[in-house]
């Protein structure tokens, strides 16, 4: 690996879970990595692990739903590193409530983080990628964008709605930002992380039986695909949606 020295990546929601695994994978490829998250302590711990891999790290405590903050942090990253090669939009919140229980505020928070947050960071990085003539944006969606929430899922319809929105954002931006910037989405299936451990707990015996590859996914299963989208050369994919679910939703 290590072929990407001198390049830089931003990973939102990178303090833990899938985002952390992606940041680690990009670091092993040689990227300098800016990690954005609300969780100050976990972010510091992850930044330490990333530095131990010998790369430059910028831990950024920020809310991705904050439009002005995204612009300010991207400006600061540009000032420091002079380039942004990869953006991974990954920060998202659960939406566990059903239609009869969810409040307006809860709906609005889901849209603000899971959809507008992705827009905020895409719009902030796009001018720099276009000016450089190259860039990769990777948006984390979910298989629940296609299927609606399955029984074992931690989130319900409102989450599926935002994740389907991410696919529209991805396809639209893939056209708008071509040919300089490639924009693709990953749809994870069931991946065991801090946030899904509880909801999967009662289904852990059954889940492998409905997944052709016979196991629940790990953050690293998603990270290898993100690293591929960030590093593959030549690159002839944009606006693509890649399901990484062990075959659970083959169609
Ligand atoms: N784990 C799964 O089974 C699964 C399945 C499908 C899709 N996904 C998607 O993968 C991504 C990562 O999921 P995960 O399981 O690692 O979740 P996670 O909750 O463990 O990690 C998400 C990270 O995002 C951060 N975050 C949340 N809101 C934020 C905000 N407003 N600003 C900045 N940071 C914020 C959290 O602090 C956390 O560190 C999400 O987009 C999720 O929707 C996960």
* Ordered structural domains, the chain, with CATH: 8-242 (3.40.50.720)
Taking the C-alpha atoms of residue 32 and residue 62, their distance in angstroms, rounded to an integer, is 19
| 15 C-alpha to ligand 1 centroid (Å) | 9
155 CB within 6 A, ligand 1: no
Per-residue pLDDT at 197: 84
| 195 C-alpha to ligand 1 centroid (Å) | 8
Which pLDDT tens digit goes with each residue over 60-88?
A: 999 999 999 999 999 999 999 999 999 99
Whether the Cβ atoms of residue 35 and residue 23 lie closer than 8 Å to each other = yes
Q: Over 80: is that where the pLDDT of 137 sits?
A: yes
Q: Over 80: is that where the pLDDT of 6 sits?
A: yes
For 68, the token pair is: 């002005």
Q: φ, ψ for residue 73 (rounded to 5)?
A: -70, -40
Per-residue pLDDT at 195: 86
Q: Over 90: is that where the pLDDT of 201 sits?
A: no
Per-residue pLDDT at 2: 75
Alpha-carbon separation of residue 68 from 32, 93, 117, 121, 154 (angstroms): 23, 20, 11, 10, 30
Torsional sign, CA 225, 231, 236, 240? positive
Determine how many CB atoms are found less than 10 A away from the CB of residue 29.
20
Q: Which of 222, 243, 245 is nearest to 23 (CA)?
A: 222
Catalytic residue among 118, 119, 121, 159: 159
Q: Over 80: is that where the pLDDT of 242 sits?
A: yes
Average pLDDT over residues 82-109: 98
Q: Over 90: is that where the pLDDT of 251 sits?
A: no
Mean pLDDT, all residues of the chain: 96
Q: pLDDT band at residue 205, thresholds of 50, 70 and 90?
A: confident
Average pLDDT over residues 188-204: 87
- Give, for ligand 1, the residue of 11, 19, 141, 165 to mutate: max count of ligand atoms closer than 8 Å to Cβ: 19
Taking the C-alpha atoms of residue 46 and residue 49, their distance in angstroms, rounded to an integer, is 5
91 CB within 6 A, ligand 1: yes
For 17, the token pair is: 């879970």
Average pLDDT over residues 198-210: 85
Instruction: Report the range of poorest mean pLDDT among 28-37, 145-154, 160-169.
Output: 145-154
Active site includes 67?
no
State which ligand 1 atom lies nearest to the alpha carbon of 91: 24
Taking the C-alpha atoms of residue 184 and residue 240, their distance in angstroms, rounded to an integer, is 5
For 146, the token pair is: 């296609």
- Give, for ligand 1, the residue of 91, 124, 220 to mutate: max count of ligand atoms closer than 8 Å to Cβ: 91
| 242 C-alpha to ligand 1 centroid (Å) | 18
**Beta bridge mates, 12:** 36
State which ligand 1 atom lies nearest to the alpha carbon of 155: 43
Torsional sign, CA 7, 55, 62, 105? positive
Per-residue pLDDT at 134: 98
């Amino acid at each position: 690996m290590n072929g990407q020295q001198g390049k830089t990546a931003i990973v939102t929601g990178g303090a833990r879970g899938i985002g952390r695994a992606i940041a680690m994978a990009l670091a092993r490829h040689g990227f300098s990595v800016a990690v954005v998250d609300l969780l100050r302590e976990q972010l510091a711990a992850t930044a330490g692990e990333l530095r131990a891999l010998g790369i430059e790290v910028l831990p950024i405590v920020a809310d991705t739903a904050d439009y002005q903050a995204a612009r300010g942090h991207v400006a600061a990253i540009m000032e420091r590193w002079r380039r942004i090669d990869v953006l991974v939009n990954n920060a998202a919140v659960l939406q566990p409530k059903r239609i009869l229980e969810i409040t307006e505020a809860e709906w609005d928070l889901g849209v603000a983080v899971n959809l507008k947050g992705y827009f905020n960071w895409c719009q902030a990085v796009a001018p720099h990628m276009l000016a450089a003539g190259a860039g990769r944006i990777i948006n984390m969606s979910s298989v629940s964008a296609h299927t609606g929430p399955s029984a074992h899922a931690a989130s319900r319809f409102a989450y599926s709605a935002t994740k389907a929105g991410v696919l529209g954002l991805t396809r639209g931006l893939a056209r708008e930002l071509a040919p300089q910037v490639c924009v693709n989405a990953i749809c994870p299936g069931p991946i065991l992380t801090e946030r899904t451990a509880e909801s999967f707990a009662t289904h852990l015996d059954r889940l492998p039986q409905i997944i052709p590859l016979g196991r629940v996914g790990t953050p690293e299963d998603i990270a290898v695909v993100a690293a591929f989208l960030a590093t593959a050369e030549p690159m002839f994919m944009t606006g693509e949606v890649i399901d990484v679910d062990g075959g659970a939703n083959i169609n």
